[in-house]
Each structure stands twice: as C-alpha cells, then as structure tokens.
Amino acid sequence: MWASDVSQDVVRPSADGSAYLSDDPQYTGRADITRLKALHGLYRVKARLDLADDPHRGYDTEKDYRFEIRTDADRFEVHYTYFDLGGGGEYSLRKRGSDGLYQDVPCYGFNFEVEAERHFMRWSAPRSCLGRPTWIRMGADVFDCFCGADDFYDDALTTGVRVDEWQRRTTLGPRLRRP
C-alpha cells in the first residue's frame, strides 16, 4: 500500500472534544504526515512514514508516532515516542491483549530507524512476530503534545478533521495479503 496524505491538514484538538484545522504555519509542518507506505512481504512486514518536516523538531514537546496493524487474528501497534526535553526517542512493538491493554512483544529482527534530516521513519518486523497473519491492515498517525497547551494531530489516511467528538482513532488501509 502506498498512500499519499496532503500537507497542511494538521488538526488541532480542543479540550471540549471538538477539533479544527490548524492554520498556524509554525506548527502545521511539524506534525504533518505526507505519505504512508506499508508492505506485507513473504517474510516481513514493513512500513515507512514520510513527514513534511523533521520528525524531531519541536519545542518542549512529546511526539507520539503510532502505526496500527490489524491482522486477521490480533491487533498490534508500533510506537515511536520522542521527548524533546531530553530522553530522546523510544520505540516498541506491542500486541493488544484480551484485557484491551497493549503489551510489548519480544521480536528478534524488529528494526526501527528514524532519518530525521530526510523527514521519514521506517520499521520492519518478521511476520512471525505478528502471528504469521493471512492479511494485515495498517494505518498511522502522529500526536504532537505541546506540554498540554496545544496539541497537533495528523492521520495518514484521513484528510481534514472530524469536528465533533474528536478522539484519536487511527484510520486503517485496505487488507494486504502476503504475495
């Protein structure tokens, strides 16, 4: 799957649950996804997320990049969290348990890398770490938290904004079957 996302469609959620498109050029670039690429290969699942700007750029922020992977049997997520105030970045592969909570999945061969200057991140994992699925569906989004004062959000597969009752909900792409 190769899906382009328009730029400058960054959403600003409000405390009252509504949301609106951000029009502040200082911020619209930094949480702006421009492309999601997902591949369900013979042996590995791969993804790449392109951004309009350096994925680490920000001021006093915590950025949370999330890939959601739905399979015919389970739900997984890959998180990349970057703390601007020291601490750097952390990434993980997690699986949703029957209690609805996500737990880390031990996965030998899981790779994650950020090419900050080239404005993208990518990861890949052996299919075995995802339960050797028949198919997968994938989506991605970013939540840029500006110390509680202002938040910014972009979903890779949705353009614009859901105005009412905004909540973080990653839009999933079509089923991808192993070749």
Interacting residues toward Ca ion by CB under 5 A: 5, 9, 32-33, 154-155
Neighbours of 73 (CB within 10 A): 10
In the complex, minimum distance from the CB of residue 101 to Ca ion, in angstroms, rounded to a whole number: 27
* Complex with Ca ion: residue 9 or 133, whichever CB lies closer: 9
Residues 114, 145: Cα–Cα separation, whole Å:
19
* Complex with Ca ion: residue 5 or 151, whichever CB lies closer: 5
For Ca ion, which residue has the nearest CB?
Answer: 5
In the complex, minimum distance from the CB of residue 11 to Ca ion, in angstroms, rounded to a whole number: 8
* Complex with Ca ion: residue 130 or 145, whichever CB lies closer: 145
* Complex with Ca ion: residue 25 or 86, whichever CB lies closer: 25
* Complex with Ca ion: residue 78 or 142, whichever CB lies closer: 142
The alpha carbons of the chain give a radius of gyration, in whole angstroms, of 16
161 CB contacts (<8 Å, ≥6 apart)? 9, 11, 19, 20, 21
In the complex, minimum distance from the CB of residue 7 to Ca ion, in angstroms, rounded to a whole number: 5
In the complex, minimum distance from the CB of residue 80 to Ca ion, in angstroms, rounded to a whole number: 17
In the complex, minimum distance from the CB of residue 86 to Ca ion, in angstroms, rounded to a whole number: 28
